[in-house]
Chains A and B, each alone.
Chain A
Amino acid sequence: MSTKHSIAAEKFLQNGERVTRHDQTFWSVRTKRDTLAYELDEWENLREAADKIKKHTVTHLADYLEQFEQNATRNGGIVHWAKDAEEYNQIVLKILRQHEVKKVVKSKSMLTEECHLNDHLFKQGIDVVETDLGERILQLMELAPSHIVMPAIHITREQVAECFRQKGIIAEHGTHAAEGILPTGEDPNQSSDPTFLTRAARYHLRDNFMTAECGMTGANFGIAETGDIVVCTNEGNADMSTSVPKLHIVSMGIEKLIPNYEAMGVFQRLLARHGTGQATTVYTSHFRGPRPGGEMHIILVDNGRSSILGNEEHWQTLKCMRCGACMNTCPVYRRTGGYSYTYFIPGPIGINLGMLKNADENYHNLSACSLCCSCDNVCPVKVDLSTQIYRWRQNLDGMHHADAMKKAMSKGMKVIFEHPNLYTSSLKFAPLVNAMPKCLTGIKLNGWTYGHEMPVFAKKSFHEIWKKQLRSESV
């Protein structure tokens, strides 16, 4: 039996060049993260702190939300509560109607994706313009994001150029955008230079910033003690969206709250280092109230989060700050792309969030994991991602979705993991596999080896190296 993920992945894998590019792109981000990790002696202290702060906050969330509401209201903001996507969409529409808004400029927010806000507003005749460059490209191409931080990285420059031409952006802004970027005489209609395309998009989006009546942003963090909403971007699009229109609507999942500035220092240092491998995002903006003569609305959205808190095995997904690091490192995500998953958030965290949202629709994604545990090791807030995936798999039986073969395989793995001696000896003999002819190891006998290259095993296992060398050196 194949899952929807494995079928979609097979299609993705047919274009070898694309797979390699996708894989290398995200691996390079992971490598940048590593470089920054080695620079900071307190790296693990920070992760430890982030984990504990989040655990503390989500288990005291009701109190912190009340404190946040009080402070945000005192600062002049208007706080709304939405229990689900429908209520959320209604609240947004009501605010927009009150202000007779025809156009919204919006900076990237996974929560609005989760609630399908854009469709809802389009149906009501309100134009929504995404202002993050990647999101705007996808919106113009009518595609969904394939990653939560770098949503359009799978699109080629040629595709972007083609799209901008079709939508008239090059015709309108091409000549201006080409100034000083393209060599004189080069036809803007033929160019797919990223700097040129970015410049054309800049002018195109400027027009929208100037004419929209409302700016919408998500929230990377909400700070209970001060009532601040913190939004981190590299492009400055959240700031542009909220500096020209007088109306600002913030959409925040209730789990995004943290207690105070002391905690904020920890998360500010972790977010960009993990997500994109930068020491900081270019902008870390604190919104503490409306701009002069304007209004600021903050919508606190539950949409299933409060009940996740009661889920003993999966409540820690609430710690997630949507940095994307687990996707960047995941060998399966890197080689199968975001569209192979059935949930709009792909990768390790998406597998778990999808199951929590709708297990019957999303159990397919559980096959997108080799249980390598890399995601757990990079997650800045220590979400136990692979353990959670393992638990879901164990429970598939009860859902009648367990695949007989996978079941047998994971049983085998379970036996190995639960018996340390067997684990060590199977590792010791693993290098022997290197010498076996590929026709034996790569046999397409079952759904597991099919499409999987056998790994090259290290000559010595880490256990052996540890025992013989490292341990003696470290004492």
Chain B
Amino acid sequence: MNFMDTKEHILNSLRKNVRETYDMPELSFKKRTFEDPVKAFIETTITTAGAKLMEIKPDDDINQKIREVYPDARIIASNIPGVEANLNPDTLAEAQELEKTDVGVIKGEVACAENGCVWIPQTMKEKAICFISECLVILVSRKNIVSNMHEAYERIQFNDYGFGTFISGPSKTADIEQSLVYGAQAARGVTIFLTD
């Protein structure tokens, strides 16, 4: 059977086997919102998500703040203008070159109070920076915090790169006897920089 046959075969089989059809439901029920989503986001981030959070004032020096949270970092990767980095994910030939990154500094566009998720659209050539770095600093504005995932999905945008991810805290696993361990395969630590 060639490719077209298979596709037609599957679609025909599906069309033939439907007996009764159902409509898409109305989703207008009331969803949980927070009176103060910023406060709720901070709370979720530092508790269940297992991340750190720093509130950044407009005249704070970002580079100094990064040093403050990760004083031992030797290799910093970022493509954000103004961030002092040793590696730039836009100009590397291969993702492997990011392997020894201590701290990756990236930007989030939307943050969600109910679960600590931050939407990070790919804005760099090598998205490995978001996962391979030992620790992540995620910059996100307090103006972009929403209450729940319904609101988040109304807002998220893609760039030309065909990838985006919600990240909520450091990589974790409980695969060995259900004991919670941070730093399974991706970032071991995450610090949210909450900007104005």
Contacts and interface: CB of A to CB of B under 8 A. Distances in A.
A42 to B, nearest CB: 6
A234 B135 CA distance: 16
Interface in A125-168: 131-134, 137, 150-153, 155-157, 160
A282 B136 CA distance: 13
A192 B178 CA distance: 14
A310 B32 contact: no
B6 A83 contact: yes
A285 B171 CA distance: 13
Contacts of B48: 278-279
Interface in B41-67: 44, 48-49
A75 interface: yes
B163 A41 contact: no
A12 interface: no
B130 A239 contact: yes
Contact of A291 (B6, B14, B127): B127
Interface string A265-286: 1101100000010111111111
Nearest to B180: A194
Nearest to B176: A194
A383 to B, nearest CB: 15
A262 B148 CA distance: 12
Contacts of B181: 194-195, 198
Interface in B1-53: 1, 3, 6-7, 9-11, 13-25, 27, 29-32, 44, 48-49
Size bracket of the A interface: 35 or more
Size bracket of the B interface: 35 or more
Contacts of B161: 289, 291-292
A279 B44 CA distance: 10
Contacts of A113: none
A172 interface: no
B11 A280 contact: no
A210 B187 CA distance: 16
A157 B175 CA distance: 10
B131 A243 contact: yes
Contacts of A265: 148-150, 152-153
A55 interface: yes
A277 to B, nearest CB: 10
B114 interface: yes
A81 B27 contact: no
B170 interface: yes
Interface string A195-207: 1011101100110
Contacts of B3: 80-81
Contacts of A131: 185
Interface in A278-334: 278-292, 296, 300, 302, 306-307, 309-310, 312
Given A83-B6, A236-B185, A280 B32 contact: no
A41 to B, nearest CB: 7
A196 B125 CA distance: 33
A381 interface: no
Nearest to A280: B115
Contacts of A435: none
A235 B171 contact: yes
B24 A259 contact: yes
A310 to B, nearest CB: 3
Given A83-B10, A283-B167, A286-B158, 12 more contacts: A83-B6, A87-B6, A157-B179, A278-B48, A280-B116, A280-B166, A281-B168, A287-B163, A288-B158, A296-B162, A302-B10, A312-B19
